[in-house]
């Protein structure tokens, strides 16, 4: 299956993607995670991306599209993938369509996670991520680790993302409304959008998502 996951910052895309990718046996491809890996390794791409990410702006398309296409052309993504955070504007959606067309492939669904803005702000403010693996995501209230500051899965140190400050989150939400939301209409025109509520327990949201995708959880 080829799926795009869309939703505001803090909607739970990364959290859901980890479960959905496992259940559907497809790789989870997050452009945010790819950028953060490049930043922590100090690559030229990471250096370019950092100033945009820290400001809550989109990284320019010429950097992002190439990076996403590279990742999608890896062998593990040959028969499907779950895209998280890409595409993020209409130009990226058009580039993805073109890349898929070249491969004789197509998207199966665009899963749109709906969450009220006051909830995403709470989710982001309390988020803590493992330094060893960005798939190990916690929340100080909603999903606290057994020991404060320590990852339950691997014992790694938990940290707060630099772009999770209140000011940057406000900017990220504005960018979401102006640049990313239009892709939902773009995909609606292709009959691909399934919208679910991302409120409630993580497992309940996963079940809702699986059934919206026509799969048993």
Tokens of 50: 């950092």
Tell me if 199 sits within 8 A of 119, measured CB to CB. Answer: yes
In the list Zn ion, ligand AP5, none, the entry touching 10 (Cβ below 5 to 8 angstroms by class) is ligand AP5
> Mind telling me the catalytic residues?
13, 88, 127, 161, 172
Tokens of 191: 């009959």
In the list ligand AP5, Zn ion, none, the entry touching 136 (Cβ below 5 to 8 angstroms by class) is Zn ion
Angle of helix 117-125 relative to helix 166-175, nearest 10 degrees, comes to 140
Tokens of 179: 């640049």
Say whether residue 132 binds Zn ion (CB under 5 A). yes
In the list ligand AP5, Zn ion, none, the entry touching 27 (Cβ below 5 to 8 angstroms by class) is none
| Residues with Cβ within 8 Å of residue 192, at least 6 apart in sequence | 4, 107, 108, 109, 110
Say whether residue 158 binds Zn ion (CB under 5 A). no
Distances in Å between the Cα of 181 and the Cα atoms of 99, 156, 173 are 21, 35, 10
Residue entry with tokens 């028969």: 79
Q: Which stretch binds ligand AP5 (CB under 6 A): 38-46, 100-108, 121-129, 188-196?
A: 121-129
The size of the interface with ligand AP5 (CB under 6 A), counted in residues, is 36
**What distance in Å separates the CA atoms of residue 3 and residue 66, rounded to the nearest whole number?**
19
Say whether residue 58 binds ligand AP5 (CB under 6 A). yes
Bridge pairing between strands 137-139 and 193-197 = unpaired
In the list Zn ion, ligand AP5, none, the entry touching 202 (Cβ below 5 to 8 angstroms by class) is ligand AP5
Tell me if 26 sits within 8 A of 74, measured CB to CB. Answer: no
> What residues line the site for ligand AP5 (CB under 6 A)?
7, 9-15, 31-32, 35, 52-53, 56-59, 64, 85-86, 88, 92, 123-124, 126-127, 137-139, 142-143, 163, 172, 200, 202, 205
Binding annotation for AMP:
31, 36, 57-59, 85-88, 92, 161, 172
> What residues line the site for Zn ion (CB under 5 A)?
130, 132-133, 136, 151, 153-154, 156
């Amino acid at each position: 299956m080829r799926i795009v996951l869309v939703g505001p910052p803090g909607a739970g895309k990364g959290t859901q993607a980890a479960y959905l990718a496992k259940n559907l046996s497809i790789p989870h491809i997050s452009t945010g995670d790819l950028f953060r890996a490049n930043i922590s390794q100090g690559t030229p791409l990471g250096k370019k991306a950092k100033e945009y990410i820290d400001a809550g702006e989109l990284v320019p398309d010429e950097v992002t599209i190439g990076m996403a296409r590279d990742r999608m052309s890896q062998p593990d993504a040959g028969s499907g993938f779950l895209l998280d955070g890409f595409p993020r504007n209409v130009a990226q959606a058009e580039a993805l369509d073109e890349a898929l067309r070249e491969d004789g492939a197509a998207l199966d669904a665009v899963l749109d996670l709906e969450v009220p803005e006051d909830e995403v702000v709470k989710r982001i403010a309390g988020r803590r991520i493992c330094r060893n693996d960005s798939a190990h995501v916690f929340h100080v209230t909603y999903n606290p680790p057994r020991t404060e500051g320590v990852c339950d899965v691997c014992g790694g140190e938990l940290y707060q993302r630099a772009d999770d400050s209140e000011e940057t989150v406000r900017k990220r939400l504005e960018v979401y409304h102006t640049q990313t939301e239009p892709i939902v209409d773009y995909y609606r025109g292709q009959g691909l959008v399934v919208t679910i509520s991302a409120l409630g327990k993580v497992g309940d949201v996963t079940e809702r998502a699986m059934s919206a995708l026509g799969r048993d959880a």
